[in-house]
Chain A
Amino acid sequence: QSVLTQPPSVSAAPGQKVTISCSGSGSNIGNNYVSWYQQLPGTAPRLLIYDNNKRPSGIPDRFSGSKSGTSATLGITGLQTGDEADYYCGTWDSSLTVVVFGGGTRLTVL
């Protein structure tokens, strides 16, 4: 059971938009920055979003992040088949004193 809660799967058609939610509590999302990672099949995770809504260089602006209270959301627009991957949210948990991740969301582009 993960500390952060994500939907197990989401799906949408190519070109469409999808959002992935990440729910936590005051000891983690509520008081710390959230980051998002993309893990393509058989590869290592890659940083997509940091500090709630910032994109590293090289990440297209189709990817966006937001945070409100104890929840965060990853948005992906203009879906491509190459976006099919597992997506993880992560943040520091001040009570557990550990970086925690969500259980991951598998995105299927139909």
Chain B
Amino acid sequence: QVQLQESGPGLVKPSEPLSLTCSVSGDSITSFYWTWIRQPPGKGLEWVANIYYRGTTNYNPSLKSRVTISVDTSTNECSLEVSSVTAADTAVYYCARAHSWNGYMDVWGKGTTVTVSS
């Protein structure tokens, strides 16, 4: 059974970088696409980025200048970095498995909460 576990710092100061990790178990990171989606408090879902292990990446154009997604095949993990965060980056960040670069997400992690505050 595939399981995804997100981890992150919880609290980040404005203008600082944010680093998140998604640990994948029960499946190889070399299969499928791996996606980050976020959900601000009380709001809907926002797709952030996805990646295929060979390096193919897709980014939300509204975030592309500040976001970097990567995979580590040796640890079976996917990571997301967001530079220079603001309060607008406060959200629950979910990691999910996608079946194609533009397709549906069939397995989701439980999410990790990130709060941007001084």
Q: Which residues of B contact A (CB under 8 A)?
A: 35, 37, 44-47, 58, 60-62, 94, 99, 102-111
Contact = CB atoms under 8 A, between A and B. Distances in A.
A97 B58 CA distance: 8
Interface of A: 2, 32-33, 35, 37, 43-47, 50-51, 56, 88, 90, 92, 96-104
Nearest to B109: A44
Contact of B104 (A2, A43, A47, A103): A47
A32 B102 contact: yes
A96 B106 contact: no
A90 B61 CA distance: 17
A98 B58 CA distance: 8
**Which residue, of B104, B107, B109, has the highest number of chain A Cβ atoms within 10 A?**
B104
A99 B61 CA distance: 11
A101 B103 contact: no
Given A92-B103, A98-B62, 20 more contacts: A2-B44, A32-B102, A33-B104, A35-B103, A35-B105, A44-B110, A45-B37, A45-B94, A47-B108, A50-B106, A51-B104, A90-B45, A92-B102, A98-B47, A98-B61, A99-B35, A99-B47, A101-B45, A101-B46, A101-B47
Nearest to B62: A98
B103 A47 contact: no
B44 A103 contact: yes
Contacts of B106: 47, 50, 56
Nearest to A47: B106
A88 B102 contact: no
Contacts of A51: 104
Contacts of A56: 106
12 contacts: A35-B103, A43-B110, A44-B109, A45-B108, A46-B108, A47-B106, A50-B99, A88-B45, A90-B47, A98-B60, A101-B44, A103-B44
A69 B24 CA distance: 37
A44 B111 contact: yes
